[in-house]
Structure 1
Amino acid sequence: MHPSGTPHPRARLWLAYAGCCVLAWCLFVLAGSEFDRGLDPFWLAVYQATTMLWAPMLLGVAVWPVARRLHGSDAGPAATAMAHGLAAVAFAALWQAGEFGVNAALFGAGHAGAVLVAGLLWRSVWGLVVYAAIATAFTAVLQARAARAAAVAAAQAESALARAELSAISGKLNPHFLFNTLNSLIALTRKDPAGAEAALLKFASMLRYVLDTKRGGPPRPAAAAAADRVLLSDEVDFLRDYLALEALRLGPRLRVDWDLEERVLADELPPLTLQPLVENAILHAVAPRKGGGRVSISARRNALNHGLDLAVADDGPGCEPEALEPRPGQRRGVGLAALRKRFALDYDGQARLRIHTAPGAGFRVDLFIPQA
């Protein structure tokens, strides 16, 4: 038995073979029975079915290793067909030899010889036909197993490729975040050294978070045990540090609205999911404007499927949706493209990222992240 409670594949094979043998025996009995003439014809049919079929049923077990050996060999079609032909002749000969032995033991050698001669031709033909049927069935089983193994291997290879690509995408986000944050720190040291010192402490905390997510992080509860997931509460703490750093640089020009449901703070999501979206909002909607701007961050439980709904929005100038597609020669941002690709790989198409924007209507990104 497998750990799942299902029978082993080999046990399933021989259970199916035994079932086919019983079915063939029952059909043979029904074909030879004449119930309107009483029980005597029925018992005669039982006797004939048993004496006729015991030999091919037992010999059929020996066909399995022959079929498996020929299926796994490198022989060509002609050599395989010839080998099966020789095995079929041997099968028919052994069938008749088995019947001859039983008849000789029960009725004497003379009767056994007469039965052998009388049925030599049709038993030989039936031996070839029965061997072909059993060998074909066993070969089909072997081919199905090979196809299933190839599908599993292909799925494993695809999964490994997806994990490698996912790791590469996540690797893009981290240096991108670090590069932009260091640029902010450099700009801050020039005009506010004391603020830069406070910002460095925040940055150290943020860097610790990034490094923890890269190596799996400290031990967590079972609900957040996956190495590629973090709690939303941890992501929010990280984001607060990031916004505090940006507030040192932008001052009152940066206004942040939080709308977080308490019950979703224990939900899981990939690390560095929100930060690139907030960074884009600050870069395009707050920093370029003299009066600054507002960034709104919300997290709620999805009422339909109980997943996690996240949203990052700003009140900036917005843009035409077509402007989100990079033009030839234009530098492409990492955040949105990497997040979209990461969700596609990480959640098998179940996670969603949607953008809502128009000129003068701000910019909003809605995320849906399924929860186990």
Structure 2
Amino acid sequence: SSVAVVCGGKVMLFDCGEGTHRQILKCKKRVKFGRIGHVFITHLHSDHVLGIFGLLNAMNFKSGKTKIHVVGPKGIKVLLENVASATTSKMEHVRVTELSTEMKDTYDTEDDVKRVGNRAVNIELDGGMTVHARVIVHVEDLVTWGYVIAEGKAPGKLDVKKAKEMGASGRHFGMLKANQPVTVNGRTILPSQVLSSAKDGIKVSLLWDTSDPSNAKEAATGSALMIHEATYSNDLAKNVAKYGHSTAGMAGRFAQETRSKTLVLTHISSRFNDPRYDEKELNPMTEALLKQAQEGAIEAGRKEDEQKGGVLPTRVLVAHDFLELERTAEDQFVPVEVAES
């Protein structure tokens, strides 16, 4: 499995299961090898990492050796180096950061990687964006990381009319937008006088494989989009502790607890068949998962406030191959159906 997040023309991949590079070829213009700047690996189970070798090989030949930053748990570096050595592959274009739970590992040599706790590391990206990496519970003896992408604050909008009335002209607008004061005819115009308040950026949370993502709760709170695993239906809750996966109801509850606006269920067990659907016709088993996630959100809401009841996520979806979500002007995420090519 793999999830691609496209922002500002750059692509971040989260996990890289076998065949990821072939799926990217089918995406054509939506995801291009040359635009992939980061690959974040949650854990080292084979279905989440074995595709990275094919991906790096494809990028090596197709994108002019574009630099790529691979971030993942301890062991990812040795894995990549051993395969590269055995296959005489080159890795000059690959930078690897291993996420550690050890406080002594401070990442002093990596300016864009900051330790913020023994189970918490932040990766700073261009444009004021940060990826919060948090240890989440999956199975014993295997460290698993969940990720939360957080935008920086968007600058306020310039009130052009007011700025002109105060004497500013076109050449001053850029400085004001950059939060710099300007002086016109002896009068200083402060950005705060002509700019609206900065707008908080959105968050996108990616949480799998896990039976308990609570360590990521603070980072994930207020997510515009949460992609959360739902391996089991509620009647299979007995498997949660044994195999380290979540039920649909658990996903719904966590989405509610973090006030996430849109919830996408992923990592669905094959027992539920192909989860592809449209909003008019759901297969019965997928529909049951959606309902359980919604009920989980309601239950969590009632626990928080018995009077008001639960506040549902704006939309609950089930992921399928090539599902594309588009961000609207209102910071909602809505599906865009694109035929497989």
Could you tell me the TM-score, scaled by structure 2's length?
Answer: 0.21
Query: Which of structures 1 and 2 has the bigger CA Rg?
Result: 1
Q: Which structure: greater strand fraction?
A: 2
Q: Which structure: greater helix fraction?
A: 1
Could you tell me the TM-score, scaled by structure 1's length?
Answer: 0.19
